[in-house]
């Protein structure tokens, strides 16, 4: 099925451990994003990649790194996990198409990764 695939779905880490969250899309989208979702807060952008070969910081980049491996794949790495990084992480991808009624930002989310850091 076409869409955004994230792995793993669940992960428990000890403080100081590292891990990489994987994301791949097969919709030929140019832009990809990593968000985190915390209770009582809207989703917040960690990093994004407007196109293959480029990455930029979002609202909450500290403690994370990203790699846009190719057009399909965008990974998020936690080098030294901290309890404050306990969250649900979503990868997303988008395109930008112009139609008669205006700009259409086709936007697709992955199913999320629930990360707990103890």
Partner 1 sequence: KNEVEQSPQNLTAQEGEFITINCSYSVGISALHWLQQHPGGGIVSLFMLSSGKKKHGRLIATINIQEKHSSLHITASHPRDSAVYICASVPLGGATNKLIFGTGTLLAVQP
Identify which of residues 18 and 105 has a Cβ nearer to partner 1 in the complex.
105
Binding to partner 1, residues 84-103 (CB under 8 A)? 90, 92, 94, 96, 101-103
Nearest to 20, CA basis, from 4, 37, 38, 34: 34
Identify which of residues 63 and 112 has a Cβ nearer to partner 1 in the complex.
112
Residues that bind partner 1 (CB under 8 A): 31, 33, 40-45, 48, 50, 58, 90, 92, 94, 96, 101-112
């Amino acid at each position: 099925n076409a869409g955004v695939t994230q792995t793993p779905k669940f992960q428990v880490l000890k403080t100081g451990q590292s891990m990489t969250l994987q994301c791949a899309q097969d919709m030929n989208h140019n832009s990809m994003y990593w968000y985190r979702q915390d209770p009582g807060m809207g989703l917040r952008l960690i990093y994004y990649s407007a196109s293959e070969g480029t990455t930029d910081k979002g609202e909450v980049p500290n403690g994370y790194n990203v790699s846009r491996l190719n057009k399909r794949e965008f990974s998020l790495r936690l080098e030294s996990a901290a309890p404050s990084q306990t969250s649900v992480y979503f990868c997303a991808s988008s395109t930008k198409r112009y139609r008669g009624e205006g700009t259409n930002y086709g936007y697709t989310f992955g199913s999320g990764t629930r990360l707990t850091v103890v």
